[in-house]
Chains A and B, each alone.
Chain A
Amino acid sequence: MKEVRTDMRFLILMYALAFILLWEWLLPVIELTDTEYITVFLFFIGISFIFGLLRMKWWLSIPLKLIYLFWSLHYVFFETVILSRETVSLLITDLLSNIGIIAAWNWDGITNPFRTVLFFVLLWMTIYLIRHWIEVRKSILLFYALTVIFIAILDTFSSYSAEGAIFRIMVSGLLLIGLLTISRISDKHGRKIGTGMFAAFSLPLLFAVVCSSAFASIMPDRGPAWDDPIPFLKSVVQGEGIGSGSFVAKSGYDTDDSKLGGAFSQDSTVVFSATVPKKQYWKIETKNTYTSKGWEQRSEEAIPVNIEPGSLLAFSGADNLLEEDKFLHAEINMKEQLPFLVYPYGTSKIHTRTDVVLQNQEDNGRFWVLKDGEEAELDSFGIDLIERNYSLKALRATSMDDYALESMDFSEYLQLPEQLPARVRELALTITGKEESVYEKAKSIERYFARNGFMYDQQNVAVPRGAEDYVDQFLFDTKRGYCDNFSTSMVVMLRASDIPARWVKGFAPGEGKTNSEGKMEYQVTNNEAHSWVEAYIPGFGWMPFEPTIGFSNMTGIEYDLELDMSDPEAPDMEEREKPETNKETPVKKDEDNGVLAFFNKMDKFLRENAWIGIAVLAVIVFIAWQVYKHRGKWIPKLLINAYRKRQADWVTYTKQYKGLLKQLDRFGFKRTDSMTLSEYAKTVDTHFGGRRMKMLTEAYERGLYGGYTRHDDWAGLQEIWEDLINRASC
């Protein structure tokens, strides 16, 4: 290939732009791998480009680059005197030891200096490729596209934020592509571009790029259509979730609950892990005011109470302890930070590091830590808790009249919006009316959902519109929803029955596993974000209830009554017998139906059989490659069979002839564009002998150039054609 030298000014510009693009590759890599010394690498890229511009011979540039590499390694890793015997021997031992490590396939064991060497080599090759793209191919689109894809993927899936990067890439990439196009145009015409011409070409380019980028950057940002593509893809596969009006929220803890409803998607990021002997519900806070669309905390801000870490907490109902109550300890390791602490029921002490102060707001149950007066984060903390057991007998003895004995003001926990439809109250009274005790009233509401055709669903969940009430819509219209629907409805119905209740947010227990020390460790992910109900039972205090179907109640009940099977309490016992199947994570629920189930199963299968998958893939790729490689053998056979069945006429003949041309090309007869068909036929006939190709070509030319699309002897031509294409099948 004849290489046309590009103008030097052009090259300098293009290399500068390529440098910026490569820089954008380096930035996230450096950031995500916690590598320092980005300048060392940038300088390497810089000198490589400059050597290229100076047309430095390889015998000079390669040693120089190696010297630089050596210097960088020394600068970054070794404290010794450069060029001393010590440095050299250190370096050599390091490199040699790595060869052994690689031979043992121990990828994690590679040392940092060697990693750096490998990274340099990678950079070196990349730079070589870029130089090839710029100077020989004069097309950078592939690299540009790769850069955009790379940055977009990192931005989506990693913590790297590419907001500025994508803009810089767009501008520099477009300019580079534009300049290369100009350079290609000048090559095509075989003349160098003068300054005037350069200005005439590049100024409009600059103008266009600057204008479009400026326009793009000042336009209002619509914001991402989806937070995370994977749940989005899943919801698309299910064919819902992105419909008009509804929105897809991500599962996880969120402080804003003023607008409930709508689909939400899975996010299995681990939020924290808890080492605790038994499953616990992890509480964060409660809310008291129902707005008919969601929950808010409306009360006078209670003054936070300072608590010394490790001191005993006063918690309601502590005086009602039973003998059977156990003292447990939980260790919590935060993987993602939450604004408030998570804590289980029965928390009596919270142990943190000593340099922080704990604060608690009593009205909403929030705990947080302060360090030097500012909010701080804890990576881990311990909790002492008392596992409580309630006496069923005592619970069943509670009466609505007992509230008068309590000193607390319940008005905020009996709040209901004025516009709450009357049928909600009516339903609540119908459910609770049959029961006498406060506990049984609450329990009857908790049970109500499981027995009246309610469905657990994360996707087809309505959002109340206009004057619609969230609870009313769920109870009477949709009957589909997730924890928020169930818990809110229960709180509202409890309040409608005059039982003080509040809405609780936190996390469900999560997946438990025995860890290396033989203790149970629970991984709590964003998918475990949950909401439930606390009702105030006179004499017992705030007691948790779990109305959401598929979840089982977490309260320890001491079954100190003789129960018969007709007792409504009995099914609960059964439920407790099969906690693992009922304790759900929503994903498992979804597995039962639809396309997603298929993908989930497929995913699981592939995960478990990754090696088989890779092997099968490799075999398929190999077969496909072989089939493609030997296409010269089987395509003629296919063609011959196909054309035998067709009617012999000009149109068919045209296709046959072109098929023959392709086959001959595969066989090795390359036809340049400027070669006429008869010239080509001559070379073909010289190889095979005879004049078959000439005859076929004449017939083709007669038709194409002469317009004679009739022929006396299509059959004869067909025979010649078959003969020739057979000979040309390799």
Chain B
Amino acid sequence: MTHAQVIDKVLANIDKVMIGKRDIAELSLTALLAGGHVLLEDVPGVGKTMMVKALAKSIGASFKRIQFTPDLLPSDVLGVSIYNPREMQFEFRPGPIVGNIVLADEINRTSPKTQAALLESMEESSVTVDGETIRIPQPFFVMATQNPIEYEGTYPLPEAQLDRFLFKLKMGYPQRGEEIEVLSRAEKTVPIDHLETVLTIQELAELQLAVKEVNVDHTIKTYIVDCASETRNTPHVYLGVSPRGSLALMKSCQAYALIKGRTYVTPDDVKYLAPFVFGHRMILRSEAKYEGITSNEIVDRILTRVSVPIDRVGLK
């Protein structure tokens, strides 16, 4: 079975429970394959949890969920060392973060200390408690959600920490027909319970390796860099995208190309992914915020200004 066929099976599997959310499924899978994490920003009840569950079940990975609350402590996330009287020594009990696929729900509800603990372990793929470091088993994929409506009693994530996430996505409401379909499917049974595993963790690791083999032509690298540097020269942007942002865009493009069954990245991949990768990596000036311009709009504008390389002529 080729990579493309394997991936199609996973996506088709997710489609069984998620209706009309093929793009989000693709993007989540892209992040998973690229080894990144996703921040979903949306109102409750649009299927965030279902998406993660479906993904976890499809690849036969362990699924953990952390519901963030203001009184949650870092140890509640990472785990604690407990004295075992029988063995006469401390024993580490891993927290919910140690899993393959973790849903971190409403992360802006918890204190910055706990947020930092989560983000650090995301970055390092490891947990450090009492001087002891434990590797989190691969694949490790965190899908964090935050609710953009209720700001009361929240601790918004600092901008600098947002770039721990590869993508920031919005789910959106389903369309009318899709919502009806959701209802009909759930009329008798719970679809998620019947979901089969279509991909082993071993196969997933192979796919992750294959992502690294996807060719990124020099023209594409130039295009990515041009886009990134344009964010730094745009009047509304206070702080543009860092080289880490360019790198993240390239890696996600590689993963996305694989999902699309290609072994090379095209400018279309870059254009498609740029808003999800760059959007949360820029800090806008306050004027932009007052004018109601969102970062995604700015990225769109930038993309209309940067010329797409269509040959090698004149390339530096």
Q: Which residues of A contact B (CB under 8 A)?
A: 189-191, 654, 658, 661, 672-679, 701-702, 704-708
B311, CB-defined interface residue at 8 Å: yes
Residues of A within 8 Å of B190, CB to CB, are none
Residues of A within 8 Å of B94, CB to CB, are none
Which of B61-69, B137-145, B263-271 touches A?
A: B263-271
B219, CB-defined interface residue at 8 Å: yes
B6, CB-defined interface residue at 8 Å: no
Check A677–B215 contact: CB distance below 8 A: no
Give the residue name and chain of the B residue nearest to A702 (CB).
B264
Give the residue name and chain of the B residue nearest to A678 (CB).
B268
Check A706–B262 contact: CB distance below 8 A: yes
Check B308–A676 contact: CB distance below 8 A: yes
Check A705–B215 contact: CB distance below 8 A: yes
- Distance A190 CA – B302 CA, assembled complex (angstroms): 14
- Distance A189 CA – B229 CA, assembled complex (angstroms): 13
Check B267–A676 contact: CB distance below 8 A: yes
Residues of A within 8 Å of B78, CB to CB, are none
Check A706–B268 contact: CB distance below 8 A: no
- Distance A654 CA – B313 CA, assembled complex (angstroms): 12
Residues of A within 8 Å of B263, CB to CB, are 706
Known: A673-B306, A704-B217. 7 other contacts (CB 8 A): A191-B235, A673-B307, A676-B268, A677-B308, A704-B311, A705-B217, A707-B217
Check A658–B311 contact: CB distance below 8 A: yes
In the complex with contacts A654-B311, A675-B308, A676-B271, A707-B215 CB distance below 8 A: yes
B108 to chain A, nearest CB (A): 34
- Distance A702 CA – B266 CA, assembled complex (angstroms): 9
B97 to chain A, nearest CB (A): 38
Residues of B within 8 Å of A672, CB to CB, are 304
Check A677–B264 contact: CB distance below 8 A: no
Residues of A within 8 Å of B219, CB to CB, are 704-705
Residues of B within 8 Å of A191, CB to CB, are 235
Residues of B within 8 Å of A701, CB to CB, are 264, 266
Q: Which residues of B contact A (CB under 8 A)?
A: 215, 217, 219-220, 233, 235, 262-268, 271, 303-308, 310-312
Give the residue name and chain of the A residue nearest to B307 (CB).
A673
Residues of A within 8 Å of B305, CB to CB, are 674
B214 to chain A, nearest CB (A): 9
- Distance A191 CA – B217 CA, assembled complex (angstroms): 35
Check B266–A705 contact: CB distance below 8 A: yes
Q: Residue among A672, A673, A705 with the most chain B CB within 10 A?
A: A705
B272 to chain A, nearest CB (A): 10
In the complex with contacts A704-B219, A705-B215, A674-B266 CB distance below 8 A: no
Residues of B within 8 Å of A674, CB to CB, are 303-308
B213 to chain A, nearest CB (A): 12
Give the residue name and chain of the B residue nearest to A700 (CB).
B310
A36 to chain B, nearest CB (A): 53
B299 to chain A, nearest CB (A): 12
25 A-B contacts (beta carbon < 8 Å): A189-B235, A190-B235, A191-B235, A658-B311, A674-B304, A674-B306, A674-B307, A676-B266, A676-B267, A676-B308, A677-B310, A701-B264, A704-B217, A704-B219, A704-B310, A704-B312, A705-B217, A705-B219, A705-B220, A705-B264, A706-B215, A706-B217, A707-B215, A707-B217, A708-B264
A80 to chain B, nearest CB (A): 60
A706 to chain B, nearest CB (A): 3
B244 to chain A, nearest CB (A): 23
Give the residue name and chain of the A residue nearest to B233 (CB).
A189
A693 to chain B, nearest CB (A): 14
B168 to chain A, nearest CB (A): 23
Q: Residue among B262, B306, B310 with the most chain A CB within 10 A?
A: B310
B271 to chain A, nearest CB (A): 6
- Distance A702 CA – B264 CA, assembled complex (angstroms): 8
- Distance A654 CA – B312 CA, assembled complex (angstroms): 11
- Distance A48 CA – B220 CA, assembled complex (angstroms): 51
B107 to chain A, nearest CB (A): 35
Q: Residue among A189, A661, A674 with the most chain B CB within 10 A?
A: A674
Give the residue name and chain of the A residue nearest to B236 (CB).
A190
- Distance A654 CA – B310 CA, assembled complex (angstroms): 10
In the complex with contacts A672-B304, A674-B308, A707-B235 CB distance below 8 A: no
Residues of B within 8 Å of A189, CB to CB, are 233, 235
Residues of A within 8 Å of B265, CB to CB, are 705
Give the residue name and chain of the B residue nearest to A674 (CB).
B304
- Distance A673 CA – B302 CA, assembled complex (angstroms): 12
- Distance A679 CA – B304 CA, assembled complex (angstroms): 13
Residues of B within 8 Å of A707, CB to CB, are 215, 217, 264
Q: Which of B215, B268, B307, B311 contacts A679 (CB 8 A)?
A: B268
Check B306–A706 contact: CB distance below 8 A: no
Residues of A within 8 Å of B264, CB to CB, are 701-702, 705-708
Q: Residue among B262, B263, B264 with the most chain A CB within 10 A?
A: B264
- Distance A190 CA – B264 CA, assembled complex (angstroms): 36
Give the residue name and chain of the B residue nearest to A188 (CB).
B233
- Distance A489 CA – B222 CA, assembled complex (angstroms): 79
B24 to chain A, nearest CB (A): 22
- Distance A315 CA – B175 CA, assembled complex (angstroms): 121
A32 to chain B, nearest CB (A): 47
- Distance A705 CA – B266 CA, assembled complex (angstroms): 6
The 9 closest A-B pairs by CB, nearest first: A706-B264, A673-B307, A676-B267, A705-B217, A674-B304, A705-B264, A190-B235, A676-B268, A676-B308
Give the residue name and chain of the A residue nearest to B235 (CB).
A190
- Distance A295 CA – B221 CA, assembled complex (angstroms): 79
- Distance A676 CA – B306 CA, assembled complex (angstroms): 11
B228 to chain A, nearest CB (A): 15
Residues of B within 8 Å of A190, CB to CB, are 235
- Distance A191 CA – B234 CA, assembled complex (angstroms): 10
B75 to chain A, nearest CB (A): 48
B90 to chain A, nearest CB (A): 54
B234 to chain A, nearest CB (A): 8
Q: Which of A658, A673, A678 contacts B266 (CB 8 A)?
A: A678
Residues of A within 8 Å of B307, CB to CB, are 673-674
Q: Residue among B220, B263, B311 with the most chain A CB within 10 A?
A: B311
B100 to chain A, nearest CB (A): 32
Residues of A within 8 Å of B308, CB to CB, are 673-677
- Distance A191 CA – B233 CA, assembled complex (angstroms): 11
- Distance A662 CA – B155 CA, assembled complex (angstroms): 55
- Distance A677 CA – B269 CA, assembled complex (angstroms): 12
- Distance A707 CA – B233 CA, assembled complex (angstroms): 32
Give the residue name and chain of the B residue nearest to A708 (CB).
B264
Give the residue name and chain of the B residue nearest to A189 (CB).
B233
- Distance A198 CA – B220 CA, assembled complex (angstroms): 37
Residues of B within 8 Å of A673, CB to CB, are 306-308
Give the residue name and chain of the B residue nearest to A675 (CB).
B308
- Distance A708 CA – B264 CA, assembled complex (angstroms): 10
- Distance A705 CA – B264 CA, assembled complex (angstroms): 6
A658 to chain B, nearest CB (A): 7
B252 to chain A, nearest CB (A): 16
Give the residue name and chain of the B residue nearest to A661 (CB).
B310
Residues of A within 8 Å of B312, CB to CB, are 704
Give the residue name and chain of the A residue nearest to B271 (CB).
A676
- Distance A191 CA – B235 CA, assembled complex (angstroms): 8
Residues of B within 8 Å of A677, CB to CB, are 267, 308, 310
- Distance A704 CA – B262 CA, assembled complex (angstroms): 13
Residues of B within 8 Å of A678, CB to CB, are 266, 268
Residues of A within 8 Å of B271, CB to CB, are 676
- Distance A407 CA – B313 CA, assembled complex (angstroms): 93
B96 to chain A, nearest CB (A): 41
B184 to chain A, nearest CB (A): 34
A662 to chain B, nearest CB (A): 12
- Distance A674 CA – B267 CA, assembled complex (angstroms): 10
- Distance A661 CA – B310 CA, assembled complex (angstroms): 11
B208 to chain A, nearest CB (A): 20
- Distance A188 CA – B297 CA, assembled complex (angstroms): 20
Give the residue name and chain of the A residue nearest to B227 (CB).
A674
Residues of A within 8 Å of B304, CB to CB, are 672, 674
B150 to chain A, nearest CB (A): 37
- Distance A117 CA – B109 CA, assembled complex (angstroms): 79
